[in-house]
Amino acid sequence: MTQLDATFAALADPTRRAILARLMDGEASVMELAEPFAMSQPSISKHLKVLENAGLISRGRDAQRRPCRLEAKPLAEATDWLERYRKIWEGNFQRLDVLLSAMQATKAAGDAEQ
């Protein structure tokens, strides 16, 4: 699995996206990350393992605490990949706008002749 595949696979789950959103505010412990979810600590740990394997988070060691923190590089790579496709779609929509404007102008000219 490529890094990009791992990133998108990890982002496919809403719980993992919520964990990443929480980590945007700063590092947090597993218990802090588990608080808003109605699931067991082992279930949260599984989600964290997927995020960690995808490189989206890292875990440190601070005495007894193992804080998780967001890692930006894989998200930046996914954003770059998506940006290429956004530009293609934006170009397609601009061409469609031109075509629709031309069709409306033709229709308005035809209506004015009647």
Closest CA to 68 of 78, 58, 82, 83: 58
pLDDT at position 1 over 70: no
Q: Which residue has the tokens 């440190």?
A: 60
Q: Which of 16-20, 21-25, 58-62, 91-95 has the lowest mean pLDDT?
A: 58-62
pLDDT for the residue numbered 66: 81
Q: How many domains does the chain have?
A: 1
Q: Where in the sequence is the domain holding 9, given as residue range(s)?
A: 3-113
Q: pTM for this structure? A: 0.74
Within 10 A of 109 (CB to CB), how many other CB atoms are there? 9
Confidence (pLDDT) at 19: 96
Residue pLDDT, tens place only, 32-82: 999 999 888 889 999 999 999 999 999 987 777 789 999 989 999 999 999
The Cα–Cα gap between 4 and 46 comes to 20
pLDDT confidence of residue 22: 95
**Residue 68 burial (C-beta neighbours within 10 Å; 0-12, 13-18, 19+):** buried
The CATH number of the domain where 37 resides is what?
A: 1.10.10.10
Residue 94 confidence (pLDDT) above 70: yes
**Which candidate, 64, 52, 73, 67, places its Cα nearest to that of 10?**
52
Q: Measured at the alpha carbon of residue 13, what is the angle toward residues 47 and 58, in degrees to the nearest 5?
A: 40
Q: Please give the single-letter amino acid code of residue 3.
A: Q
